[in-house]
Structure 1
Amino acid sequence: MSTSAGQTSYTAHHLQVLEGLEAVRKRPGMYIGSTDGRGLMHCLWEIIDNSVDEALGGHCDRIEVVLHADGSVEVGDNGRGVPVDIEPRTGLTGVEVVYTKLHAGGKFGGGSYTASGGLHGVGASVVNALSARLDVAVDRGGKVHAMSFRRGEPGVFADPASGPDPDAPFTAFDERPTLRIVGKVARAKTGTRVRYWADRQIFIKDAEFDDEALRARARQTSFLVPGLLILIRDERGLPGTLGADGPHEEVFHHEGGISEFADFLATDAPVTDVWRLQGSGSFTETVPVLDDRGHMSPTEVSRECEVDIALRWGTGFETTVASYVNIIATPKGGTHIMGFDAALLKVFRRQLELNARKLKVGADKVDKDDILAGLTAVVTVRLAEPQFEGQTKEVLGTPAVRAIVAKIVEQELTERFDNPKRGERAQSALLLEKVVSEMKARISARLHKETQRAKNALESSTLPAKLADCRSNETERTELFIVEGDSALGTAKLARNSEFQALLPIRGKILNVQKASVADTLKNAECAAILQVIGAGSGRTFDLDSARYGKVIIMTDADVDGAHIRTLLITLFFRYMRPLVEAGRLYAAVPPLHRIEVVNPGSKPNELIYTYSEGQMRQAVAALGKRGRTIKQPLQRYKGLGEMDAGQLAETTMDPARRTLRRVTVEDATNAGMTFEMLMGNEVAPRRDFIVAGSARLDRERIDA
C-alpha cells in the first residue's frame, strides 16, 4: 500500500503555535467578533467595563470617556488603580500582567471582585494587542505610574512636542519592562486612565466609534449602578454626530437605579407603579481553583446571588424585558430570565384561581404572553464568576440562578398581591383584570382565526375583489405585489407571471397606523385589505406560517410620494405583521428612474439602458459619449410606474431574473420601534428636530417638484 507524497510531506514542522497576543492579532474575530465598527465598539466596552467593575465594587463613582480628534479614545476612572507592584508568579508588574497576559486579572476568585462584567481575563490584553498604541497611567501611592505599548509590546515612544502619536519612533524594552513614574498626585487620589489608538492594520478603514451606541450604553450603565457618573466627550467633529460643530459633552447620572430605568424604558400609561423585587440566595458549585503550587484543583465553593428586579405594567401591549448579569446585558436571556418567566406564570395562575369567580375566568388557563403584555421589566442579578455562553456574554448559563430568581420573584410578587393597603390592592386588581382581558382576547382571536381560516378555505370570495391572485399554492414561490394606483395595476397585470405573482392595488396614501388605534386600522379599507390578503392575522396573533405568500413586495413610484407610501406600508407591516419583516419576507421593488435609448446604425433595433439614480444616469451617458454612441433625446424620465409599458415593467421591476429588490430588515427591534415612533408617531417636536438637523444633507435634486 503506497503513501502519497502529499501525506508524507505534512510533518510536525508545518504546525504553528501562536503564543500570547500573537494569537489575538492572527484571529481577532475569535475575541471581538468582527473587525468592523462592532469589533471597534467591543474593544471600547472591554475597557469601560473594567472601570464599571470598580464602580460595582464601590471603589469608583466617576468614569470619563473621551473620543479624541486623532482617532484615539481615552477612558479614565477614579477607582483603585491597576496594581503597580510585582506579581510573584511572573515577576512582572500588575500593569503589564493585565495588559499583556491573556486570562490574567483580578476576577478569577482572588477576592478582588465579588461581581464583575469581565470574567475571562482577556479584555484589556486583547484591546492592547489590537491597538497601534496603548498608554496606561495609574494613580497610586501619591505617584503617577505610566507604561506604553505598541501592538501589545511594551516600550517607549519618542513623542513630538504636539503630543502622543502612534507613529512616533518606538523603542521596545530589551529586558524586563519598566513601569515609569511620570508625576506626583495627592496620596488619596487613585485611578486608571487608558488611551489607545485602534490598529488600522486590523480594523477596516471605515470602522468608526458609534457615539449613539456609546451614549445608550452609558445611560444604561448609569441606571444599573446608582450614583455612578459617566461623562462622554466627543471631540472628533464628525458630520452627522452631536459633536459635528464642536466638542460635545454629555453626563449620565441616575440615583434612582433600575426603578428609574424601568420608567425610562416604558412608553405607555401605567397600570401599576414600578414594583421592586429584591432578594438573594446562595448555592454551591465545583470550580477549578489555582492552589499555592500553581495547580488547578476542583474545589466546591459557596456563591451568593443577589437579585434585583424593577417591573411595571402599562396599558399597551408591547413587552420590554431588559436583563443584566453584573450590569452586562444579556439580550438573549438565560437562566435568570427562565426563572423570572416561570415565577410570573406560577404567581398569576395562582392569583387567578383565587379570584376566578370575581374575574369570571372560567376554565381557561392564562398564558405567559397574556402576562407579558404591557410589561416593562429590568431583571438584574449579581454573582461571582457567572457562566456565560461565549465571550460575547449574551446568555447566562449558571443553572442555580434559575431557582433563586424564581423563588425571590414568587415570594415578593405574592406579597404585592397580598398587600392589604388600599392603593396596592387597587393596582393588583387592575393588573389581574388586564391579564384576564388579554387572555380572553387571545382566546377570542384564536377562535375567530380558526373560523376565518375554515371560511376562507370554503369561500375564496372573501378575498378583496381587486386582488389579482396567482394560480400557485406553493407559498415559497408566490409573491404579492402591493401596487400604487389602478393605472400601474393595469400595466402590472400584463407584466406579471400570473403563475406565482399576485397583485393588490392600493389607492394613494394609506392610514398612518403609528398614530391610529387598532380599531381605526382595521376599519381602514386599504389596511384591512392588506391584512386580509396576507391571511395571517395581525399583532400578537400574527401567525407567520399562515401567510399566503412567500414574498411581499411594495411597488411604488420612484418619487417622493412613492417613498411616503412605501414608508406608510412598512409602518403597517412593522406594527401589525412584524414576524414577516423579521423573517426577511418584506421587500421594496426598485423601479428605474431613466431610460436611455442608444441609437444603432441601420435596421438593428435600438439598445435600451435603464438607470436607477441621477448619478448612475450621468455616468452611463458619459460612458456612451466616450464610446461615440448616439443617444436619442430627450432621455425618458419616468414619473411613475404607469408610464412604462408591460415589457419595460417586467424587464426592470418584476422579472425575478432581472429585477432588483431591497429587503426590509429589523436588526434592532428597540431602536426600530423608537425610530418609527419619532418619524410616524403623535409627538411632533422630535420629528421637527430630526428634519431640521438633517436638512443640510438633503439632495434637492431628489425632490420631484
Structure 2
Amino acid sequence: MAPSSEYSARHLSVLEGLEAVRKRPGMYIGSTDSRGLMHCLWEIIDNSVDEALAGYGQNIEIILHPDGSVEIRDDGRGVPVDVEPRTGLTGVEVVFTKLHAGGKFGGGSYAASGGLHGVGASVVNALSSRLDVEVDRGGKTYRMQFRRGEPGRFSDSGKPKPTASFSPFVENSELDVVGKAKRGVTGTRIRYWADEQIFLKTAKFSYEELQNRARQTSFLVPGLRIELRDERRLAGTPGAEGPVSEVFHHDGGLAEFVEYLAPDAAVTDTWRIHGTGTFTESVPVLDEAGHSKITDVERACEVDLALRWGVGYDTTARTFVNIIATPKGGTHLTGFEQALLKTFRQHITANARRLKAGNDKVEKDDVTAGLTAVLTVRLAEPQFEGQTKEVLGTAAVRQIVSKVVEKELKAKLTSKARNDKQQAAQLLEKVVNEMKSRISARVHKETQRRKTALEGSSLPTKLADCRSNDVETSELFIVEGDSALGTAKLARSSDFQALLPIRGKILNVQKASVGDMLSNAECAALIQVIGAGSSRSFDLSAARYGKVILMTDADVDGAHIRTLLLTLFFRYMRPMVEAGRVYAAVPPLHRVEVVTPGSQPNEMIYTYSEAELYRVLDRLESDGRRYKEPIQRYKGLGEMDAEQLAETTMDPRHRMLRRVNIEQAEEAERIFELLMGSDVAPRKEFIISGSERLDREQIDV
C-alpha cells in the first residue's frame, strides 16, 4: 500500500506520561545496553547522595541481587508520603510516575543536587518490569509497587518476582502501610528489575563501575559511607566465589581524592582552592495562578578545587557539578584551564630572565603536564547538555571559576612562605622545561622534514644503523658497553639489526627533571635514534624501529641498567611499551660443552639460570655423558664470541626475548616510584622487609 501524501493533525501521535520514555528510552538514558542500564542505577543512587549532600543521612547501601534486580537503601529523610495538592497523589507516586516532578525545582529542598530534571526516578520506573519502594517516615513504613511505571500491587508475599501476578489500581491509588519504623528513623529502600523488553540481553550491571562511582562519591561527600554488595556470583567479578561486600568512606574530601588519583611523585603539595561567586539567571517561575513568568534569579556558585603537580607529564583532571561527574567537561573546566594558562603566562613572563624562558609562550599542555586536579562546582539548577549530564552548559560558571582559580593560584605562586616559595620555583621550572621540550621536539620534526638525502644524517655517530627502512622488521639493540658492541657488530644481521651502545649507568629519570633528562647525552641519543620524540610530543608512528631490545649483561649491574632504561621508556616513551615494542634480551649464564665420541664436534648447551644448569648436569650424568670442566660462566656479553652471541641472543631463529608489557599502568608507576623514586623511606622499608627471603650465597659478588 502506497503511503498517503495527506498529512494533518490526526496523523500526529501524542505520547503521555511514561509512554514516551518506553517508546524512546534513548532520549532519557542514552542507550539500552549496559551503559543505559548503569545510567538508570546512577539516577537512583544520585537521589540518595543528594540527601547526604544536603546534610540528611550518612549511609547508602547498594545490593546486586542474584535474580538480576538491584536495591538501593539510604537513611535520608525518605520520599514524601503526604498528598501533593495539585495532583491529589502521594509524594511517592508523584516522584515515580510523573516526569519533571521532584524536590529540586522549587529550591526549598536542595540548594545543590545531582538530579535536576526531575525525570530520574520516573524514567527508571518506566523502564523496569517491577519496582518496589519502601519509605520509613513518621514512625511508619510505607510501600508502593509498580509494573512498567503503573502503580498497583503484586500478589507475592515472600520472595518478590517481576513475573508475579499484578493488580493495577483502578480508581484511586493507595500507599500501603506495611509496618512500623523506630522513632526518628527515616529512609528509602528501592528495588527494581530492569525490563527485558527494553534492555538488551547483554546488558549487565558493572561491578567495577560501581566500585569507581562509590569510591568517587565517598571522596566528594566527606563522611558519607557507601556499602556495595554483590550477591550475583558472576564469573569474572570479585563475587564469583560468593557474596562480596566493600565499604567506601573518606573524610579527606578532594585532597584525599587527588592523592588517590596522582600517578607520580609530587613536585608540589596538594593545594586547596575555595571560592564563591554570584550571577543572575533568567528562569521561568510559576506564579500562584500557575502561569509561567520569566524572572531574574540570583544564583550562588561555590568552587572547590584540589590540585597538585607531579614529576610526570600525564594529566589527570576530574570535574564535577554538585556530585555528578562531567567527563566531557563544560564551562567549569574551560574557566579552570583559562585561569591556569593566564596565571602561569603572567608569572613566567615576569620571571623570564631567571627561568631562562626567552620570548616563547607557554601553552596549556605545558602547564597541565603532570597535573592531577579535582574540580567541583556547586550551584542550584545547573544547565546540562542532555539528560546524561556529561557537559556543563551554564555560561556564567566559566568566569566565576576563572576568577577564583586565578586569584588563589596567584596567591600561592607569590607566597612568601618558605615551603610555598620553594614549590612555586620548582613548578615554574617544570613548566618552562615542558615548554622547551615541546619547542625542541617541534624544531626537530621540522628539521627532519626539510632534510634531504644529500644532507646526510644527524643521528649519533656511535649508532651502527641497519640498511633496511622497513619499520616492521627493523630492530634496535641497546648494548651495554663498547666491548660488547664490537662482538655484537659481528654477530648481528646488518640488514635489519641496528646497534646503539650506552656507556655505564644512564641517568635515573625518575628523580631527574625534564631538562636534566634532555641534557643527558645517553638519554638524548636514545630518544634521537628512536626518532619519535618524548613525553607529550611522542609519536609512535614516527618510531624508526619495530623492536627495541635491551641487551645488557646477565648480572646485577646489567639488571640495574635495564631497569634504568625501562624507567626512561616508561616515563618519556610509554607508547612504545604499551604497543609491545620494547623487549629485554635473555643472554645465557652458562655454557656446557658436552663431549661427543668420535670425530664429531662437541655439543654446546646453554643454560639461563642456576636451577636449569643443575637440571642439565643431572640429566647428562644419568645418561652417562661427559662434559668438560670447568663450566663456562658468562659474566658479560663481551665474554662471548660473535658466533655464540648470535646463536644465543641475537639470531631470531634461536634467541629468546622477553616482551615488556604494561598490564596495569598505575601499578607499574607505583613500583617504578618505589624502586627508582626520590623518596628513600618506602624503598628502605621495602628492602628491609624483603631481606629475610634473601639467600646470602646467591649474591653475585
By the TM > 0.5 criterion, same fold? yes
Offset, 1:15: 3.3
Letter of the aligned partner of 2:88 in structure 1?
A: G
Q: Which residue of 2 aligns with 1:143?
A: 140
C-alpha distance 152-423 of structure 1, shift in aligned 2 (>3 A)? same
Q: Is the 8 A contact 1:522 1:528 kept in 2?
A: no
Q: How does 1:61-140 map to 2 (within 5 A)?
A: 61-140=58-137
Letter of the aligned partner of 1:105 in structure 2?
A: G
**For 2:131, what is the secondary structure of its paired residue?**
strand
Alignment partner of 1:257 out of 253, 256, 276: 253
- Name the CA distance, whole Å, in 2 between partners of 1:141 and 1:482: 76
Is 1:420 the counterpart of 2:416? The answer is: yes
C-alpha distance 397-683 of structure 1, shift in aligned 2 (>3 A)? farther
Q: Which residue of 2 aligns with 1:380?
A: 376
Flag the structure with larger Rg.
2
Letter of the aligned partner of 2:148 in structure 1?
A: R
Q: Which residue of 1 aligns with 2:350?
A: 354
Alignment partner of 2:299 out of 285, 292, 303: 303
- Name the CA distance, whole Å, in 2 between partners of 1:402 and 1:525: 41
Q: How does 1:42-57 map to 2 (within 5 A)?
A: 42-57=39-54
**For 1:7, what is the secondary structure of its paired residue?**
coil
Offset, 1:154: 0.7
Q: Which residue of 1 aligns with 2:444?
A: 448
Q: Which residue of 2 aligns with 1:244?
A: 240
Alignment partner of 1:318 out of 308, 314, 319: 314
Letter of the aligned partner of 1:173 in structure 2?
A: F
Q: Is the 8 A contact 2:263 2:670 kept in 1?
A: no
Letter of the aligned partner of 1:112 in structure 2?
A: S
**For 2:163, what is the secondary structure of its paired residue?**
coil
Q: Which residue of 2 aligns with 1:233?
A: 229
Offset, 1:436: 1.9
Offset, 1:469: 4.9
C-alpha distance 505-213 of structure 1, shift in aligned 2 (>3 A)? farther
Letter of the aligned partner of 1:378 in structure 2?
A: V
Letter of the aligned partner of 1:141 in structure 2?
A: G
C-alpha distance 468-188 of structure 1, shift in aligned 2 (>3 A)? same
**For 2:210, what is the secondary structure of its paired residue?**
helix
C-alpha distance 680-315 of structure 1, shift in aligned 2 (>3 A)? closer
- Name the CA distance, whole Å, in 1 between partners of 2:572 and 2:196: 41
Alignment partner of 2:191 out of 179, 192, 195: 195
**For 1:18, what is the secondary structure of its paired residue?**
coil
Question: Residue deviations 1:88-143, cap 9 Å, x none?
Answer: 11111111111111111111134211111111111111111111110001111111
Offset, 1:419: 2.1
C-alpha distance 201-91 of structure 1, shift in aligned 2 (>3 A)? same
Is 1:400 the counterpart of 2:396? The answer is: yes
C-alpha distance 383-682 of structure 1, shift in aligned 2 (>3 A)? same
Offset, 1:448: 2.4
Alignment partner of 1:438 out of 434, 437, 441: 434
Q: Percent identity?
A: 61
Offset, 1:249: 0.8
Q: Is the 8 A contact 2:569 2:576 kept in 1?
A: no
- Name the CA distance, whole Å, in 2 between partners of 1:159 and 1:680: 58
Q: Is the 8 A contact 1:506 1:526 kept in 2?
A: no
Letter of the aligned partner of 1:176 in structure 2?
A: N
Offset, 1:374: 1.1
Alignment partner of 1:25 out of 22, 26, 44: 22
Q: Which residue of 1 aligns with 2:211?
A: 215
Q: Is the 8 A contact 2:311 2:370 kept in 1?
A: yes
Q: How does 1:525-564 map to 2 (within 5 A)?
A: 531-532=530-531, 537-542=533-538
Q: How does 1:240-639 map to 2 (within 5 A)?
A: 240-455=236-451, 466=466, 468-469=468-469, 481=472, 531-532=530-531, 537-542=533-538, 576=573
CA-based RMSD of the aligned residues comes to 4.0
- Name the CA distance, whole Å, in 1 between partners of 2:575 and 2:476: 25
TM-score, with length taken from structure 1? 0.70
| Greater displacement, 521-530 / 236-245 | 521-530
Question: Residue deviations 1:423-442, cap 9 Å, x none?
Answer: 12111122122222222222
Q: Is the 8 A contact 2:264 2:673 kept in 1?
A: no
**For 1:216, what is the secondary structure of its paired residue?**
helix
TM-score, with length taken from structure 2? 0.71
C-alpha distance 678-414 of structure 1, shift in aligned 2 (>3 A)? closer
- Paired residues, what number? 552
- Name the CA distance, whole Å, in 2 between partners of 1:20 and 1:529: 65
- Name the CA distance, whole Å, in 2 between partners of 1:467 and 1:58: 71
Letter of the aligned partner of 1:287 in structure 2?
A: V
- Name the CA distance, whole Å, in 2 between partners of 1:284 and 1:677: 46
- Name the CA distance, whole Å, in 2 between partners of 1:579 and 1:553: 9
Offset, 1:291: 2.2
C-alpha distance 676-422 of structure 1, shift in aligned 2 (>3 A)? closer
Gaps of 5+ in 1: 471-479, 487-503, 555-567, 589-641, 644-668, 685-705
Is 1:171 the counterpart of 2:170? The answer is: no
- Name the CA distance, whole Å, in 2 between partners of 1:425 and 1:260: 23
**For 2:4, what is the secondary structure of its paired residue?**
helix
Offset, 1:144: 0.5
Offset, 1:575: 7.2
| Greater displacement, 342-351 / 251-260 | 342-351
- Name the CA distance, whole Å, in 1 between partners of 2:528 and 2:403: 48
C-alpha distance 439-171 of structure 1, shift in aligned 2 (>3 A)? same
Offset, 1:672: 7.2
Q: Is the 8 A contact 1:140 1:187 kept in 2?
A: no
Question: Residue deviations 1:363-402, cap 9 Å, x none?
Answer: 2222222111111111110000111111111111111111
Offset, 1:578: 5.5
Q: Is the 8 A contact 2:475 2:546 kept in 1?
A: no
